[in-house]
Amino acid sequence: MENDQPNGKIITLFSTASAVGKTFLAVNMAAGLAASGYKVCLIDLDLQFGDVAYYLHLKPRHNLFDLVTQLQKTAVPSDINLFDYLTPYIHDDLQFFTLLPPDKLEQACNIFTAGINRCLNELQTCFDYLIVDTTSAFSEINLSVMDMSTIIAFIGIVDFIPTIKNMKIGYDTMHSIGYDNQKIHLILNRSDSKTNIELNDVRQLLKDDFYHIIPNNFQQAQSSLRSGIPLLASDKSSDLGKSIRQLINKCTDQRPSPTKNDSSLHGWMKHLFN
Ligand SMILES: Nc1ncnc2c1ncn2[C@@H]1O[C@H](COP(=O)(O)OP(=O)(O)OP(=O)(O)O)[C@@H](O)[C@H]1O
Ligand SMILES: [Mg+2]
């Protein structure tokens, strides 16, 4: 383990509707942060139907269920090599880790909040950033992870009225829990997709502006999905890639980037696997 202090920042991607781009953005934020030299672990908390492995063409040997079970059995967590349970993603010089859900639904149903909190606490001691992909629900697990998070990237799209109604309920609920705008970042994805709804009406309803707006580009998103390579690991010049890069820069504003020497990730990875 790198150090014993849980210093890693947690960025959680959450939404009140499905298929708004949580996983797509989580994968690309992990790739973009790793490309900047940060130590990153992407955690798929869509326990039953997670898509991170699919997006990155990964086959996990061990998973979140195995790690939760092992941590439960162990009095001294530092005895566990966390990296045995993580699946690395490597593309050229870019590298980050993933913690993937089990492929058996009965195992997914037997992962509980306390186990996940323990995993996150342990992982925070090894990584600069934990990027957490979630399901679209105010579940106990999601609420607990949001509590632990430094940033909640609340992703919305503007397509139909019910989607916007649910975005409003979710956004208001998060403020009533006590999260402020330092913590919740309202992000509009697929901004220029076809709709008759005016963005200014949505802003008025939410009583807030968007922290960041990401364009819609079906072709760029699909080709990244097909190749299993995040946009921020390959096509950095695409408008979609650039916009996600800007989002990452905003989210890391208060953090100095690792120095060039610190970002020799090949060396870092070797150290962890030894
Ligand atoms: N900005 C974008 N432009 C074009 N397509 C996008 C964009 N963002 C995401 N997509 C596409 O939208 C689809 C849904 O994205 P994704 O799987 O990330 O959603 P999700 O919120 O994780 O869904 P779920 O709630 O089911 O897990 C994917 O095909 C993805 O490639
Ligand atoms: Mg998803």
Residue 260, domain member (yes or no):
no
Q: Answer for the pair 99, 85: CB distance below 8 angstroms, yes or no.
A: yes
What phi and psi, each to the nearest 5 degrees, are found at residue 25?
A: -75, -35
Residue 232, domain member (yes or no):
yes
pLDDT in tens, 64-77: 999 999 999 998 88
Minimal CA–CA distance to 21: which of 221, 198, 195, 162?
A: 221
**CA 101 – CA 65 distance, rounded (Å):** 7
pLDDT in tens, 9-35: 999 999 999 999 999 999 999 999 999
Q: What is the pLDDT of residue 272?
A: 43
Residue 263, domain member (yes or no):
no
Residue 91, domain member (yes or no):
yes
Q: What is the pLDDT of residue 49?
A: 98
Rg (CA), the chain: 18
Mean pLDDT of 40-58: 98
Q: What is the pLDDT of residue 77?
A: 85
Task: For residue 167, give its domain range.
Answer: 9-254
What phi and psi, each to the nearest 5 degrees, are found at residue 99?
A: -120, 115
Listed in sequence order, the residues at least 6 apart from 140 whose beta carbon sits closer than 8 Å to its beta carbon are 113
pLDDT in tens, 189-242: 999 877 889 999 999 999 999 999 999 999 999 999 999 999 999 877 899 999
Higher pLDDT, 26 or 254: 26
Instruction: Write the DSSP symbol of residue 212.
Output: E
Residue 178, domain member (yes or no):
yes
Regarding the beta carbon of 13 and ligand 1, being less than 6 Å apart is answered: no
Q: Is the dihedral of CA 78, 40, 50, 116 positive or negative?
A: positive
**CA 144 – CA 114 distance, rounded (Å):** 9
75 CA → ligand 1 middle, Å: 40
Residue 69, domain member (yes or no):
yes
DSSP H or E run through 186: strand 184-188
Residue 250, domain member (yes or no):
yes
* CA of residue 86 relative to chain centroid, distance: 15
User: Number of folded domains in the chain?
Assistant: 1
Q: What is the pLDDT of residue 14?
A: 98
Q: What's the token pair of residue 188?
A: 């509009």
Residue 228, domain member (yes or no):
yes
Q: What is the pLDDT of residue 5?
A: 66
Residue with tokens 């530092």, as numbered in its chain: 78
> Which ligand lies nearest to the CA atom of residue 187 in the structure?
1
The CATH number given to whatever domain includes residue 232 is: 3.40.50.300
Residues with CB under 5 A from ligand 2 (ion): 22-23, 51
**CA 66 – CA 51 distance, rounded (Å):** 18
Confidence of residue 257 (pLDDT cuts 50, 70, 90): low
225 CA → ligand 1 middle, Å: 10
- Residue 216 CA: which ligand 1 atom is closest? 3
